[in-house]
Amino acid sequence: MTMVTVEPISLRQRKQVATRRSIVDAAVRPFSEKGLDGPTIADIASAAGVGKGTIYNYFASKEEILVAYIVGLEEEIQGRLTRFAEAGAPLERILAGLLRFHFRLKRPTYRFNRVFLSQLILQADDLGEHIARMQEAIDPPLLALFGRLQERGLIHRSLDLRRAVLAFKQVHFGLSCLWAMEGPPFRGALRAVDEQMAMFARWLERRP
């Protein structure tokens, strides 16, 4: 039997990961205050407590930092997808639970997400390349989730999963905009999540 060994991460690598994460976390504040175009690399470096050169060691541009933030958020969500895929609950509650979890993760950076969504709408053409990269992180785990739900018989077997995922993302985006416009405590947005997922689940379950 072949043994697979995993090389332990070095102290230097841990520091690099920590520095990269601290830059992404620190960038949230200037982006929240000045929009996506306003902050300079110098602003982000100041917020992170590092030099501009350090920023460029990790990111080619401030847009790269935005992508890293969204991808990092998706990675956190992906860590919970197995739980949702195997949940012993009706489909509508599984999907609503996933969206509620998503919004719960985004709540500490609510101001940033509000700015990000507004700029995403206004500058969709300019951000096209970066949006495509974000989708590369978002789509595969969602397809795996919907595939497992289909295997379990919760989604109609004839439904094309890519179409289902695209529809889910469209509904999610609309709910995200509602969430961002409403603000804390998000009662209306969360109620809408439950209502929309109840209707969406019926479509997934009964697709002819």
Q: What percent of the chain has pLDDT over 90?
A: 42
pLDDT of the residue at 127 = 65
pLDDT of the residue at 4 = 44
| Residue type at 147 in one-letter notation | G
What's the pLDDT tens digit per position in 48-96? 899 989 999 998 888 888 878 877 887 888 778 889 999 999 999 999 9
- CATH of region 62-206, choose from 2.40.128.20, 3.40.50.1980, 1.10.357.10, 1.10.3720.10: 1.10.357.10
The residues of the chain that CATH labels 1.10.10.60 are 10-59
pLDDT of the residue at 8 = 60
pLDDT of the residue at 25 = 87
- The residue ranges of the chain whose pLDDT is under 50 are 1-6
pLDDT of the residue at 86 = 94
Return d(Cα 34, Cα 47) in angstroms, integer. Answer: 13
Q: Which fold has domain 10-59?
A: Arc Repressor Mutant, subunit A (1.10.10)
The residues of the chain that CATH labels 1.10.357.10 are 62-206
Helices and strands, counts by H and E, the chain: 10, 0
